[in-house]
Amino acid sequence: MIMNKKGTVITIILIIFICYFYYRSNSQIYGNDKKSIIKVIQSIDSYKNKELIEVLKIVDIKNDRFVAFLYNNRPAYIQFVKNEQGNYRWTNAENGSGESLGLFHILLENHIDSKYRILLITNQENNIAKIIIKVNSQKIVKEISIGQKYVSMINIPKSKDNSYSFEYMYFDKDGRPIIQE
């Protein structure tokens, strides 16, 4: 009789543990669609207010997903990586410094072509019409829509020695320099 009660208690405890781990694994929020992406963003301490989140563009590059968004009208992005089950797990998030233009350096894992990208995000207050990015000795020229929300993923040329130096030049709609870093 005592052995029978002991077996029942052990069985109940095992069922509780199985249910707990099943619930815990299924409660993970993934970035598989726009609605779940917003939930993941909201789960991050600095992005709690859903009304301030505006998803601008979702960019998939192999198993990496980048979501450009505005939070309180500030450029930001969140990165996801596809896991073995095909779900996009959150790995990184960054926001801009409060300017109308955000430039985010992206490093892609396991990509044979260029591993580096720059994610460019603007809000509607942007007055920069063109940016020139000097990467090592090469120039990348990017025209930008002014007065509009805009997103672009810029490929960075591969470096022979895996070292990079960046110089940025910004121009207004009349071609006059705005800022030079």
Q: Which residues contact 130 (CB under 8 A, 6 or more apart)?
A: 141, 142, 143, 144, 170, 171, 175
- Domain span including residue 98: 31-180
pTM over 0.75: yes
Examine the domain organization and report whether 24 and 61 are in the same domain: no
Examine the domain organization and report whether 93 and 69 are in the same domain: yes
Instruction: List the chain residues with pLDDT less than 70.
Output: 1-27, 109-114, 179-181
Examine the domain organization and report whether 20 and 40 are in the same domain: no
Examine the domain organization and report whether 70 and 140 are in the same domain: yes
Q: What would the pLDDT profile of 106-159 be if each residue is shown by its tens digit? A: 988 665 556 789 999 999 999 999 999 999 889 999 999 999 999 999 999 888
Examine the domain organization and report whether 23 and 69 are in the same domain: no
Examine the domain organization and report whether 53 and 125 are in the same domain: yes
| CA 112 to chain CA centroid, nearest Å | 21
- Domain count within the chain: 2
Examine the domain organization and report whether 8 and 59 are in the same domain: no
| Strands, E assignment, the chain | 53-61, 64-71, 74-82, 88-95, 101-107, 116-122, 130-135, 138-143, 150-155, 166-171, 177-180
Q: Which residues contact 53 (CB under 8 A, 6 or more apart)?
A: 38, 41, 42, 47, 69, 70, 71
